[in-house]
Structure 1
Amino acid sequence: MISEASGRLDDLLRSVGEASGRSPAPLERWNPPDCGDIDLRIDREGVWHYAGTPIRRPALVKLFASVLAREGERHVLITPVEKVGIVVEDAPFLAVDMAAEPYEAGERLVFRTNLDDLVRCDTEHPLRFEPQAGADGVRPYIYVRRRLWARLTRAVFLELAERAEEREVDGRRLFGVASAGAFFPLAPADERNGT
Protein backbone atom coordinates (compact mmCIF):
# COMPACT_ATOMS: atom_id res chain seq x y z
CA MET A 1 0.00 0.00 0.00
CA ILE A 2 1.12 3.54 -0.68
CA SER A 3 1.60 5.35 2.61
CA GLU A 4 1.83 9.00 1.53
CA ALA A 5 -1.76 9.20 0.24
CA SER A 6 -2.08 12.95 -0.38
CA GLY A 7 1.25 13.22 -2.19
CA ARG A 8 0.49 10.07 -4.21
CA LEU A 9 -2.75 11.52 -5.52
CA ASP A 10 -0.97 14.73 -6.55
CA ASP A 11 1.70 12.69 -8.36
CA LEU A 12 -0.95 10.62 -10.05
CA LEU A 13 -2.92 13.71 -11.09
CA ARG A 14 0.21 15.27 -12.54
CA SER A 15 1.07 12.09 -14.44
CA VAL A 16 -2.45 11.65 -15.81
CA GLY A 17 -2.63 15.34 -16.71
CA GLU A 18 0.51 15.04 -18.82
CA ALA A 19 -1.11 12.25 -20.82
CA SER A 20 -4.60 13.74 -21.10
CA GLY A 21 -4.07 15.38 -24.48
CA ARG A 22 -3.92 11.99 -26.19
CA SER A 23 -7.05 10.26 -27.29
CA PRO A 24 -7.03 7.44 -26.43
CA ALA A 25 -4.01 7.22 -24.17
CA PRO A 26 -1.50 4.70 -25.56
CA LEU A 27 -1.36 2.58 -22.41
CA GLU A 28 -0.01 -0.43 -24.31
CA ARG A 29 3.18 1.53 -25.11
CA TRP A 30 3.83 2.58 -21.54
CA ASN A 31 5.73 0.33 -19.15
CA PRO A 32 5.92 2.27 -15.88
CA PRO A 33 6.90 0.73 -12.56
CA ASP A 34 4.13 -0.73 -10.42
CA CYS A 35 3.87 1.52 -7.38
CA GLY A 36 1.38 -0.60 -5.43
CA ASP A 37 -2.16 0.39 -4.61
CA ILE A 38 -3.76 3.75 -3.95
CA ASP A 39 -6.88 4.41 -1.86
CA LEU A 40 -9.09 4.92 -4.90
CA ARG A 41 -12.33 2.95 -5.26
CA ILE A 42 -15.18 2.75 -7.77
CA ASP A 43 -18.33 1.63 -5.97
CA ARG A 44 -21.16 -0.48 -7.41
CA GLU A 45 -22.99 2.67 -8.53
CA GLY A 46 -20.00 3.93 -10.56
CA VAL A 47 -19.01 6.61 -8.04
CA TRP A 48 -15.27 7.17 -7.66
CA HIS A 49 -13.95 7.65 -4.10
CA TYR A 50 -10.55 8.81 -2.92
CA ALA A 51 -9.64 8.09 0.73
CA GLY A 52 -13.32 7.32 1.41
CA THR A 53 -14.63 10.59 -0.07
CA PRO A 54 -16.55 10.74 -3.36
CA ILE A 55 -14.77 12.61 -6.14
CA ARG A 56 -17.22 15.30 -7.24
CA ARG A 57 -15.30 16.68 -10.24
CA PRO A 58 -16.51 14.89 -13.41
CA ALA A 59 -13.48 16.07 -15.41
CA LEU A 60 -11.14 14.46 -12.87
CA VAL A 61 -13.07 11.16 -12.94
CA LYS A 62 -12.99 11.15 -16.75
CA LEU A 63 -9.27 11.82 -16.67
CA PHE A 64 -8.68 8.86 -14.36
CA ALA A 65 -10.99 6.65 -16.46
CA SER A 66 -8.99 7.48 -19.59
CA VAL A 67 -5.94 5.68 -18.13
CA LEU A 68 -7.82 2.81 -16.46
CA ALA A 69 -7.15 -0.77 -17.52
CA ARG A 70 -7.53 -4.27 -16.13
CA GLU A 71 -4.60 -6.62 -15.68
CA GLY A 72 -5.78 -10.04 -14.61
CA GLU A 73 -8.18 -9.45 -11.75
CA ARG A 74 -6.57 -6.12 -10.85
CA HIS A 75 -7.75 -2.70 -12.04
CA VAL A 76 -4.92 -0.23 -12.57
CA LEU A 77 -4.35 3.38 -13.56
CA ILE A 78 -1.43 3.55 -15.97
CA THR A 79 0.50 6.74 -16.70
CA PRO A 80 3.84 7.20 -18.43
CA VAL A 81 5.60 7.27 -15.03
CA GLU A 82 3.67 4.93 -12.73
CA LYS A 83 1.03 2.22 -12.42
CA VAL A 84 -1.20 1.99 -9.35
CA GLY A 85 -3.93 -0.44 -8.40
CA ILE A 86 -7.43 0.63 -7.44
CA VAL A 87 -10.53 -1.18 -6.14
CA VAL A 88 -13.54 -1.70 -8.43
CA GLU A 89 -16.53 -3.19 -6.64
CA ASP A 90 -18.34 -4.40 -9.78
CA ALA A 91 -17.71 -2.70 -13.13
CA PRO A 92 -15.88 0.59 -13.57
CA PHE A 93 -18.60 2.06 -15.79
CA LEU A 94 -22.39 2.12 -15.96
CA ALA A 95 -24.33 2.06 -19.23
CA VAL A 96 -26.92 4.77 -18.60
CA ASP A 97 -28.50 5.27 -22.05
CA MET A 98 -29.18 3.13 -25.09
CA ALA A 99 -30.22 3.87 -28.66
CA ALA A 100 -30.29 2.01 -31.96
CA GLU A 101 -28.72 3.15 -35.19
CA PRO A 102 -29.13 1.75 -38.71
CA TYR A 103 -26.63 -0.94 -39.61
CA GLU A 104 -26.09 -3.07 -42.71
CA ALA A 105 -27.48 -6.13 -40.92
CA GLY A 106 -30.44 -4.44 -39.22
CA GLU A 107 -29.65 -2.24 -36.25
CA ARG A 108 -26.70 -1.63 -33.98
CA LEU A 109 -27.23 -0.77 -30.34
CA VAL A 110 -25.26 2.17 -28.97
CA PHE A 111 -24.74 2.67 -25.26
CA ARG A 112 -23.61 5.79 -23.39
CA THR A 113 -21.71 5.30 -20.16
CA ASN A 114 -21.90 7.43 -17.06
CA LEU A 115 -18.60 8.99 -18.23
CA ASP A 116 -19.96 9.78 -21.71
CA ASP A 117 -18.18 7.01 -23.62
CA LEU A 118 -20.18 5.81 -26.61
CA VAL A 119 -20.00 2.05 -27.09
CA ARG A 120 -21.39 0.39 -30.22
CA CYS A 121 -22.48 -3.16 -29.46
CA ASP A 122 -20.92 -5.68 -31.86
CA THR A 123 -18.60 -8.68 -31.73
CA GLU A 124 -15.72 -6.49 -30.48
CA HIS A 125 -17.95 -4.84 -27.87
CA PRO A 126 -20.25 -7.70 -26.83
CA LEU A 127 -22.97 -7.90 -24.27
CA ARG A 128 -22.61 -10.48 -21.50
CA PHE A 129 -25.15 -11.61 -18.94
CA GLU A 130 -23.99 -12.90 -15.55
CA PRO A 131 -26.44 -15.17 -13.69
CA GLN A 132 -27.37 -13.87 -10.25
CA ALA A 133 -28.98 -15.66 -7.34
CA GLY A 134 -32.33 -14.42 -6.13
CA ALA A 135 -34.72 -11.97 -7.73
CA ASP A 136 -32.09 -10.21 -9.85
CA GLY A 137 -31.88 -13.07 -12.38
CA VAL A 138 -29.01 -11.77 -14.50
CA ARG A 139 -26.66 -8.82 -14.39
CA PRO A 140 -25.99 -7.33 -17.87
CA TYR A 141 -22.70 -5.80 -19.05
CA ILE A 142 -21.22 -4.38 -22.25
CA TYR A 143 -17.52 -4.43 -23.08
CA VAL A 144 -16.01 -0.91 -23.25
CA ARG A 145 -12.22 -1.19 -23.65
CA ARG A 146 -9.01 -2.57 -22.07
CA ARG A 147 -10.81 -5.50 -20.42
CA LEU A 148 -13.23 -3.01 -18.81
CA TRP A 149 -16.98 -3.46 -18.76
CA ALA A 150 -20.01 -1.26 -18.11
CA ARG A 151 -22.92 -2.66 -16.15
CA LEU A 152 -26.27 -1.72 -17.65
CA THR A 153 -28.47 0.23 -15.25
CA ARG A 154 -31.82 -1.33 -14.48
CA ALA A 155 -33.66 1.13 -16.75
CA VAL A 156 -31.33 0.40 -19.69
CA PHE A 157 -31.59 -3.35 -19.09
CA LEU A 158 -35.39 -3.15 -19.13
CA GLU A 159 -35.22 -1.23 -22.41
CA LEU A 160 -32.81 -3.83 -23.79
CA ALA A 161 -35.09 -6.68 -22.66
CA GLU A 162 -37.90 -5.21 -24.78
CA ARG A 163 -35.69 -5.86 -27.84
CA ALA A 164 -35.00 -9.49 -26.90
CA GLU A 165 -36.06 -12.22 -29.28
CA GLU A 166 -35.93 -15.97 -29.56
CA ARG A 167 -33.52 -17.59 -32.05
CA GLU A 168 -32.10 -20.99 -32.77
CA VAL A 169 -28.32 -21.11 -32.28
CA ASP A 170 -26.40 -24.37 -32.76
CA GLY A 171 -29.60 -26.37 -32.45
CA ARG A 172 -30.74 -24.65 -29.24
CA ARG A 173 -33.55 -22.14 -28.81
CA LEU A 174 -32.10 -19.08 -27.08
CA PHE A 175 -33.55 -15.81 -25.89
CA GLY A 176 -31.25 -12.87 -26.55
CA VAL A 177 -30.51 -9.55 -28.21
CA ALA A 178 -29.27 -8.80 -31.73
CA SER A 179 -26.93 -5.93 -32.60
CA ALA A 180 -24.70 -5.27 -35.62
CA GLY A 181 -25.44 -8.71 -37.04
CA ALA A 182 -24.42 -10.52 -33.85
CA PHE A 183 -26.69 -12.30 -31.38
CA PHE A 184 -26.02 -12.16 -27.64
CA PRO A 185 -27.83 -14.96 -25.74
CA LEU A 186 -29.49 -14.02 -22.49
CA ALA A 187 -30.93 -17.41 -21.51
CA PRO A 188 -32.21 -20.67 -22.98
CA ALA A 189 -35.72 -20.11 -24.36
CA ASP A 190 -37.17 -22.83 -22.13
CA GLU A 191 -36.04 -20.89 -19.02
CA ARG A 192 -37.81 -17.80 -20.30
CA ASN A 193 -40.98 -19.79 -21.00
CA GLY A 194 -40.82 -21.38 -17.55
CA THR A 195 -40.54 -24.95 -18.80
Structure 2
Amino acid sequence: MPYVPPPDLATLSLPEIAALVAARKLPPVEQWQPQAVSDSLMVIKADGRWFHDGGEIRRPAMVRTFASLLWRDQAGQHWLVTPFEKQAIAVEDAAFIATDVSEQDGALAFRLNTDEIVLAGPDNPLTARGDAETPALYLLVRHGVEARINRSTWLQLVELAGDDLCLTSQGARFSLVPSA
Protein backbone atom coordinates (compact mmCIF):
# COMPACT_ATOMS: atom_id res chain seq x y z
CA MET A 1 0.00 0.00 0.00
CA PRO A 2 1.50 3.39 -0.94
CA TYR A 3 2.23 5.92 1.79
CA VAL A 4 -0.25 8.78 1.99
CA PRO A 5 1.09 11.76 3.98
CA PRO A 6 -1.32 13.58 6.27
CA PRO A 7 -2.97 16.69 4.82
CA ASP A 8 -1.70 20.21 5.41
CA LEU A 9 -2.16 21.16 9.07
CA ALA A 10 -3.76 24.50 8.19
CA THR A 11 -6.66 22.69 6.48
CA LEU A 12 -7.53 20.53 9.51
CA SER A 13 -9.74 21.17 12.53
CA LEU A 14 -8.58 20.18 16.01
CA PRO A 15 -10.85 17.09 16.05
CA GLU A 16 -9.41 16.01 12.69
CA ILE A 17 -5.85 16.51 13.97
CA ALA A 18 -6.65 14.59 17.18
CA ALA A 19 -8.13 11.74 15.11
CA LEU A 20 -4.96 11.54 12.99
CA VAL A 21 -2.82 11.43 16.14
CA ALA A 22 -5.01 8.75 17.72
CA ALA A 23 -5.05 6.65 14.54
CA ARG A 24 -1.26 6.41 14.41
CA LYS A 25 -0.32 2.86 15.37
CA LEU A 26 3.13 2.78 16.94
CA PRO A 27 5.03 -0.29 18.12
CA PRO A 28 4.76 -0.82 21.92
CA VAL A 29 8.48 -0.16 22.55
CA GLU A 30 7.72 0.78 26.18
CA GLN A 31 6.68 -2.86 26.76
CA TRP A 32 9.79 -4.43 25.29
CA GLN A 33 12.76 -5.35 27.49
CA PRO A 34 15.35 -6.80 25.08
CA GLN A 35 18.51 -8.24 26.60
CA ALA A 36 20.72 -7.98 23.49
CA VAL A 37 22.43 -4.59 23.10
CA SER A 38 24.51 -3.38 20.16
CA ASP A 39 25.42 -0.32 18.10
CA SER A 40 23.18 0.43 15.12
CA LEU A 41 25.97 2.36 13.33
CA MET A 42 23.29 5.01 12.73
CA VAL A 43 23.45 8.77 13.20
CA ILE A 44 20.68 11.36 13.05
CA LYS A 45 22.27 14.64 12.00
CA ALA A 46 21.19 17.98 13.44
CA ASP A 47 19.47 18.79 10.13
CA GLY A 48 17.23 15.69 10.45
CA ARG A 49 19.02 13.45 7.93
CA TRP A 50 19.59 9.81 8.92
CA PHE A 51 22.81 7.91 8.14
CA HIS A 52 23.82 4.28 8.48
CA ASP A 53 27.49 3.31 8.45
CA GLY A 54 28.36 6.62 6.74
CA GLY A 55 25.71 6.46 3.98
CA GLU A 56 22.54 8.54 4.03
CA ILE A 57 19.24 6.67 4.36
CA ARG A 58 17.27 8.17 1.50
CA ARG A 59 14.09 6.11 1.71
CA PRO A 60 11.53 8.07 3.77
CA ALA A 61 9.63 4.86 4.59
CA MET A 62 12.74 3.42 6.27
CA VAL A 63 13.27 6.61 8.26
CA ARG A 64 9.62 6.58 9.39
CA THR A 65 9.93 2.93 10.43
CA PHE A 66 13.14 3.49 12.40
CA ALA A 67 11.66 6.65 13.95
CA SER A 68 8.74 4.63 15.32
CA LEU A 69 11.22 2.46 17.27
CA LEU A 70 13.10 5.30 18.99
CA TRP A 71 13.55 5.53 22.74
CA ARG A 72 15.76 7.83 24.82
CA ASP A 73 16.94 6.70 28.23
CA GLN A 74 17.50 8.80 31.37
CA ALA A 75 21.16 9.32 30.45
CA GLY A 76 20.15 10.84 27.09
CA GLN A 77 21.19 7.85 24.93
CA HIS A 78 18.88 7.17 21.98
CA TRP A 79 18.00 3.58 21.12
CA LEU A 80 16.26 1.68 18.36
CA VAL A 81 14.20 -0.86 20.29
CA THR A 82 12.72 -4.15 19.06
CA PRO A 83 11.40 -7.07 21.13
CA PHE A 84 14.75 -8.85 20.72
CA GLU A 85 17.43 -6.15 20.67
CA LYS A 86 18.12 -2.52 21.40
CA GLN A 87 20.68 -0.69 19.33
CA ALA A 88 22.36 2.58 20.23
CA ILE A 89 21.83 5.41 17.76
CA ALA A 90 23.82 8.65 17.78
CA VAL A 91 21.75 11.85 17.66
CA GLU A 92 23.54 15.15 17.09
CA ASP A 93 20.76 17.39 18.44
CA ALA A 94 17.19 16.04 18.36
CA ALA A 95 15.82 12.96 16.65
CA PHE A 96 13.13 14.92 14.81
CA ILE A 97 12.61 18.38 13.33
CA ALA A 98 9.26 20.16 13.74
CA THR A 99 8.69 21.71 10.32
CA ASP A 100 5.23 23.29 10.68
CA VAL A 101 2.71 24.34 13.29
CA SER A 102 -0.99 25.10 13.34
CA GLU A 103 -3.01 26.60 16.19
CA GLN A 104 -6.55 25.26 16.45
CA ASP A 105 -8.97 25.79 19.34
CA GLY A 106 -6.29 26.31 21.98
CA ALA A 107 -3.96 23.55 20.80
CA LEU A 108 -0.69 23.65 18.87
CA ALA A 109 -0.27 20.85 16.32
CA PHE A 110 3.22 20.23 14.94
CA ARG A 111 4.21 18.31 11.81
CA LEU A 112 7.57 16.56 12.07
CA ASN A 113 10.05 15.85 9.30
CA THR A 114 8.72 12.25 9.36
CA ASP A 115 5.15 13.54 8.63
CA GLU A 116 4.08 12.60 12.15
CA ILE A 117 1.72 15.04 13.88
CA VAL A 118 2.16 15.84 17.58
CA LEU A 119 -0.12 17.99 19.76
CA ALA A 120 1.81 20.08 22.30
CA GLY A 121 0.44 19.96 25.81
CA PRO A 122 1.05 18.46 29.25
CA ASP A 123 2.18 15.11 27.77
CA ASN A 124 4.16 16.71 24.93
CA PRO A 125 5.64 19.89 26.42
CA LEU A 126 7.69 22.54 24.66
CA THR A 127 11.05 23.33 26.28
CA ALA A 128 13.16 26.41 25.56
CA ARG A 129 16.94 25.98 25.81
CA GLY A 130 19.94 28.10 24.97
CA ASP A 131 19.79 31.76 25.92
CA ALA A 132 17.64 34.79 25.08
CA GLU A 133 19.94 35.69 22.17
CA THR A 134 19.98 32.21 20.61
CA PRO A 135 16.99 30.24 21.89
CA ALA A 136 16.29 26.68 20.78
CA LEU A 137 12.84 25.21 21.25
CA TYR A 138 12.13 21.47 21.59
CA LEU A 139 8.93 19.42 21.62
CA LEU A 140 8.77 16.14 23.54
CA VAL A 141 7.46 13.59 21.03
CA ARG A 142 7.43 10.30 23.00
CA HIS A 143 9.65 8.06 25.13
CA GLY A 144 12.04 10.94 25.92
CA VAL A 145 12.63 11.62 22.22
CA GLU A 146 12.39 15.25 21.11
CA ALA A 147 11.87 17.34 17.99
CA ARG A 148 13.74 20.59 17.52
CA ILE A 149 11.50 23.39 16.29
CA ASN A 150 13.03 24.72 13.06
CA ARG A 151 13.49 28.44 12.52
CA SER A 152 10.46 29.05 10.30
CA THR A 153 8.20 27.15 12.72
CA TRP A 154 9.68 29.06 15.67
CA LEU A 155 8.86 32.31 13.82
CA GLN A 156 5.27 31.07 13.35
CA LEU A 157 5.11 30.51 17.12
CA VAL A 158 6.44 34.02 17.79
CA GLU A 159 3.57 35.40 15.69
CA LEU A 160 1.07 33.34 17.73
CA ALA A 161 2.60 34.29 21.10
CA GLY A 162 1.75 37.34 23.13
CA ASP A 163 4.15 40.11 24.06
CA ASP A 164 5.57 37.86 26.79
CA LEU A 165 6.54 35.25 24.13
CA CYS A 166 4.44 32.59 25.85
CA LEU A 167 1.93 30.17 24.35
CA THR A 168 -0.75 27.87 25.70
CA SER A 169 -1.59 24.49 24.22
CA GLN A 170 -4.14 22.11 25.69
CA GLY A 171 -4.07 24.05 28.95
CA ALA A 172 -0.27 24.01 29.37
CA ARG A 173 1.73 27.24 29.13
CA PHE A 174 5.13 27.40 27.41
CA SER A 175 7.74 30.11 26.99
CA LEU A 176 9.57 30.56 23.70
CA VAL A 177 12.55 32.03 25.54
CA PRO A 178 14.76 30.08 27.95
CA SER A 179 14.59 31.11 31.59
CA ALA A 180 17.73 32.77 32.88
**TM-score with structure 2 length normalisation?**
0.80
Which residue is equivalent to 1:126? Answer: 125
Partners of 2:115 and 2:122 in 1: how far apart? 21
Conserved 8 A contact 2:99-2:110: yes
- Please give the secondary structure, in 1, of the residue aligned with 2:154: helix
Distance 1:188 1:28, change over 3 A: closer
Q: Shift in Å at residue 34 of structure 1?
A: 3.4
Which residue is equivalent to 2:153? Answer: 156
Percent of pairs with identical residues: 38
CA RMSD, 1 decimal = 2.1
Which residue is equivalent to 1:143? Answer: 140
Conserved 8 A contact 2:127-2:137: yes
How many residues were matched structurally?
Answer: 156
Which residue is equivalent to 2:29? Answer: 27
Which residue is equivalent to 1:98? Answer: 101
2:140 maps to a residue whose letter is Y
- Please give the secondary structure, in 2, of the residue aligned with 1:61: helix
Partners of 1:153 and 1:94 in 2: how far apart? 6
2:160 maps to a residue whose letter is R
Q: Shift in Å at residue 149 of structure 1?
A: 0.7
Which runs of 4 or more aligned residues in structure 1 lie more than 6 Å from their structure 2 counterparts after TM superposition? Answer: none
Q: Shift in Å at residue 181 of structure 1?
A: 2.2
2:180 is equivalent to residue 186 of structure 1? no
Structure number with higher strand proportion: 1
Distance 1:119 1:188, change over 3 A: closer
Q: Which has the higher contact order (CA 8 A, sep 6+)?
A: 2
Distance 1:85 1:188, change over 3 A: closer
Q: Shift in Å at residue 188 of structure 1?
A: 8.3
Deviations 1:33-76 (A, max 9, x none): 23221210000011000011110000001111111100121100
2:113 is equivalent to residue 111 of structure 1? no
Deviations 1:160-186 (A, max 9, x none): 0111224xxxxxxx5411222221123
Conserved 8 A contact 1:44-1:89: yes
In our comparison, the structure showing a higher alpha carbon Rg is 1
Q: Shift in Å at residue 116 of structure 1?
A: 1.1
- Please give the secondary structure, in 2, of the residue aligned with 1:165: coil
Q: Shift in Å at residue 23 of structure 1?
A: 2.1
**TM-score with structure 1 length normalisation?**
0.74
Match of 2:68 among 66, 69, 77: 66
Partners of 1:47 and 1:188 in 2: how far apart? 26
Conserved 8 A contact 2:131-2:177: no
Distance 1:187 1:139, change over 3 A: closer
1:65 maps to a residue whose letter is A
